[in-house]
Amino acid sequence: MRLSSDRLALVNPSASEGASQRARDLIAAGVDVISLATGEPDFDTPDHIIDAAIVALRAGQTRYTGTGGTLELRKAIVEKFSRDNGISYDLPEVLASAGTKNVIFLALLASLNSGDEVIVPAPHWVSYTEMTKMAGGTPVVVSCTQNNGFKLDAQALEQAITPRTRWLMLNTPCNPTGTVYSREDLMALADVVRRRPQVLVMTDEIYEHIIFDGRTFHSFAEVAADLKDRTLTLNGVSKGYAMTGWRVGFAGGPAELIAAMKKVQSQSLGSISSISQAGAVAALMGPQAYLQERADAFQARRDRVISLLGHVPGLRCHRPEGAFYLFVDCGGLIGRMTPKAIMLERDIDVTEYLLDEARVVVVNGAAYGISPYFRISIATSMERLEAACERIAAAVARLK
């Protein structure tokens, strides 16, 4: 008897979540494993946010809220976009949901017809392509080379667009590469989009506050203000504010699209946690200075890991400009032989070897649409990162 849909057979499970779960299982079994798979800040949620949630609990704010978020949260979202990004939205143009991941899914379900195409620059977050398939669309993956900083350029975008193109998906700073699109990069892409009126732009900016080397973050809807009515700007409190478990993401975009997304949410999720929303208001409207302090900590970790892995023969690290990942080129290990006489033929073989031999969990690059690479999360302590690099170096040294 068939218990799942035919469409679901096209969808792959999340590779990053699978690697993280494998690490949790090994740790629970007592195995000395260092997990560098999880895309989650190791910092605690700030006290003022926790305090706001406690106050909300004590005040009895424990009931259903409006489908798109409380009035207080939607006002905070409008203020955040204006303050941080220079984008002006009205209340009907914003919506909150259970994490930015769910916001993306709502947008795709609300806007895609069967066969509509979504352009996804690779390397890309593992879920963009799979959610597109689940919503009945067709992902069009465009490979972006390391020589160009893993960025989608105007020429590649132009070539990828067809009459069926519905969305261009952008992620800046990018998971897994840490690539940050400059104002000039976004302007060049906007010039292409202007000539193609059927194309909408979905820009995932969840790592906005984790920027390195004094760079300035630019939002697509701010750079291309004339395309605001064709742009959905995504963000949330998970990464910068260390609130992954609170599950609050949000979007700003055309009122018609937001209303369609709200309709989907009304018949699926309903409303999100009232307590989490109170915390998100405190995050967006409270102190912001610590965001830079945490970004500086991630930058120091980035520099240390690049320094350590830069001395490992066969590995080449891309220098991220933001987020908290390193995307490591492991092409120099392909074709090498393990101590058990197993040849490393793909990047997934490399990640399996690092788990078995070094007890370090990383995620293979193929999951992000490009090989041979693996992704390292630097969202853990400097001590554990140094230990992991030492283990990786020792394991690589044992290859023949």
Residue 21 is given by DSSP the state: H
Q: 250, 272, 287 — which closes off a domain? A: 287
Same domain, 283 and 337: no
- Please write the tens of the pLDDT for every residue from 311-347: 999 999 999 999 999 999 999 999 999 999 999 999 9
What would the two tokens of residue 49 be?
Answer: 């946010």
Q: Does residue 201 sit within a domain? A: yes
Q: Is the pTM of this model over 0.75?
A: yes
Q: For residue 38, what pLDDT is reported?
A: 85
Same domain, 310 and 163: no
- Please write the tens of the pLDDT for every residue from 40-69: 999 999 999 999 999 999 999 999 999 999
Same domain, 180 and 306: no
Phi/psi at 19 (5° precision): -65, -40
Q: Does residue 113 sit within a domain? A: yes
Q: Does residue 236 sit within a domain? A: yes
Let me know: does 142 contact 152? Beta carbons within 8 Å: yes
Residue 343, C-beta contacts closer than 8 angstroms, at least 6 positions apart: 335, 336, 337, 349
- Please write the tens of the pLDDT for every residue from 244-264: 999 999 999 999 999 999 999
Q: Does residue 39 sit within a domain? A: yes
- Please write the tens of the pLDDT for every residue from 153-207: 999 999 999 999 999 999 999 999 999 999 999 999 999 999 999 999 999 999 9
Q: Is the pLDDT of residue 226 over 70?
A: yes
Let me know: does 350 contact 364? Beta carbons within 8 Å: yes
Same domain, 336 and 190: no
Q: For residue 22, what pLDDT is reported?
A: 73
Q: 287, 311, 332 — which closes off a domain? A: 287
Q: What is the mean pLDDT of residues 220-236?
A: 98
Structural domain count of the chain: 2
Q: For residue 13, what pLDDT is reported?
A: 66
Q: Does residue 392 sit within a domain? A: yes
Same domain, 381 and 254: no
Same domain, 261 and 296: no
Same domain, 180 and 269: yes
Let me know: does 167 contact 119? Beta carbons within 8 Å: yes
Peptide bond into 287 cis (omega under 30): no
SS3 252: strand
Q: 271, 287, 303 — which closes off a domain? A: 287
Same domain, 82 and 209: yes
231-236 vs 249-252, strand pairing mode: antiparallel
Let me know: does 240 contact 207? Beta carbons within 8 Å: yes
What CATH number should be reported for the domain holding residue 18? Answer: 3.90.1150.10
The residue ranking higher by pLDDT, 8 or 372, is 372
Same domain, 18 and 54: no
Q: For residue 19, what pLDDT is reported?
A: 65
Angle of the 100-111 helix axis to the 255-266 helix axis, nearest 10: 100
Same domain, 247 and 382: no
Same domain, 127 and 218: yes
Let me know: does 135 contact 109? Beta carbons within 8 Å: yes
Q: For residue 26, what pLDDT is reported?
A: 73
Q: Does residue 2 sit within a domain? A: no
Let me know: does 344 contact 350? Beta carbons within 8 Å: yes
Q: Does residue 33 sit within a domain? A: yes
SS3 73: helix
For residue 138, give its domain range: 47-287
What CATH number should be reported for the domain holding residue 63? Answer: 3.40.640.10
Q: Does residue 1 sit within a domain? A: no
Same domain, 186 and 249: yes
- Please write the tens of the pLDDT for every residue from 129-140: 999 999 999 999
